[in-house]
Amino acid sequence: MCGIVGYIGERKAFPILLEGLKRLEYRGYDSSGISLLNGELKTFKKKGKVSELEKFEEAVNSHATIGIGHTRWATHGKPDDINAHPHHSGNNRLALVHNGIIENYGTLKEYLISEGHEFRSETDTEVLVHLIEQIQESKNLDLESAVRYALQKVVGAFAIAVIDREHPNIIVGARKSSPLVVGIGDNEFFIASDATPIIKYTNQIIYLDDDEVVTISRDDNPQIRSLDNKLVDYHIEQVDLKLEEIEKGGYDHFMLKEIYQQDESIYEAMRGRINAGEGWVKVGGMQDHYNRIENAERFIIVACGTSWHAGLIAEYLFEELARIPVEVEYASEFRYRNPIIGPKDVVIALSQSGETADTLSALELAKEKGALIYGIVNNVGSSIARITDCGSYIHAGPEIGVASTKAFTSQLVVLTLMALDLAHKRGTISERNFQALISEFELIPQKVKKVLQQAAHIKSIASEIKSASNALYLGRGYNFPIALEGALKLKEISYIHAEGYPAAEMKHGPIALIDMYMPVIVIATNKNAYEKIFSNVQEVKARKGIVIAIVSEGDTEIKKIADFTIEIPNTDDVFSPLLSAIPLQLLAYYIAVMRGCNVDQPRNLAKSVTVE
DSSP secondary structure of 539-562: HHHHTTPEEEEEEETT--HHHHH-
Residue 360 lies in a domain: yes
Residue 459 sits in the same domain as residue 405: no
- Residue 608: the pLDDT is 67
Query: Are 144 and 224 spatial neighbours (Cβ–Cβ below 8 Å)?
Result: no
- Same-domain check for residues 435 and 513: no
CA dihedral 132→133→137→141, nearest 10 degrees, is 40
Same structural domain, 506 and 612: yes
- Give the residue among 219, 237, 200, 224 at the shortest CA–CA distance from 8: 219
Both 377 and 463 in one domain: the answer is no
Listed residue (418, 415, 266, 271) closest to 350, CA to CA: 415
Distance CA 59, CA 77 (A): 27
Number of domains in the chain: 3
- In the DSSP assignment, the letter for residue 336 is T
Q: Which residues are catalytic?
A: 2, 607
Range of the domain at 364: 248-442
Q: Pick from 212, 245, 278: which residue ends a domain? A: 245
Q: What is the pLDDT of residues 551-562, one digit of tens each?
A: 999 998 998 999
How far is 328 from 340, CA to CA, in rounded Å? 14
Helix, strand or coil, per DSSP, at residue 568: strand
- CA dist 164 and 46 (Å) reads 22
Burial code (b: 16+ CB inside 10 Å, e: under 16) for 439-450 equals ebbeebbebbee
Q: Could you tell me if 298 and 326 are in contact, meaning their C-beta atoms sit under 8 angstroms apart?
A: yes
Q: What is the DSSP letter of 386?
A: H
Q: Are residues 105 and 70 in the same domain?
A: yes
Nearest to 87 by CA among 150, 16, 160, 3: 160
CATH code for the domain in which residue 144 is found:
3.60.20.10
Crossing angle for the helix pair 444-452 and 576-594, nearest 10 degrees? 20
Which CATH number fits the domain that encloses residue 474? 3.40.50.10490
Task: Tell me what pLDDT residue 229 has.
Answer: 94
CA–CA separation, 161 vs 2, rounded Å? 12
In a domain, 518, yes or no: yes
Judgement on whether residues 329 and 203 belong to the same structural domain of the protein: no
Q: Say yes or no: 465 and 411 in one domain.
A: no
Q: How does strand 87-88 pair with strand 94-102?
A: antiparallel
Amino acid symbol at 24: L
The reply to whether 447 falls in a domain is no
163 domain residue, yes or no:
yes
| Distance (Å, whole) CA 488 – CA 108 | 39
Q: Please check whether residues 522 and 596 belong to one and the same domain.
A: yes
The CA-atom distances, in angstroms, between 122 and each of 43, 89, 295 are: 18, 14, 52
**Consecutive sets of 10 residues in the chain, 612 residues long: mean pLDDT of each?**
92 94 89 93 93 81 89 88 95 95 94 96 96 96 96 94 96 94 95 93 94 93 95 91 82 96 97 96 93 95 96 98 97 88 96 88 91 94 89 93 96 98 96 97 98 97 96 94 98 96 83 85 87 83 89 91 95 96 98 96 79 60
Question: 10 Å Cβ neighbour count for 295?
Answer: 11
Domain boundary among 195, 216, 245: 245
- Are residues 405 and 368 part of one domain? yes
My answer on whether 470 and 402 are in the same domain is no
Does one domain contain both 90 and 71? Answer: yes
Per-residue pLDDT at 302 = 96
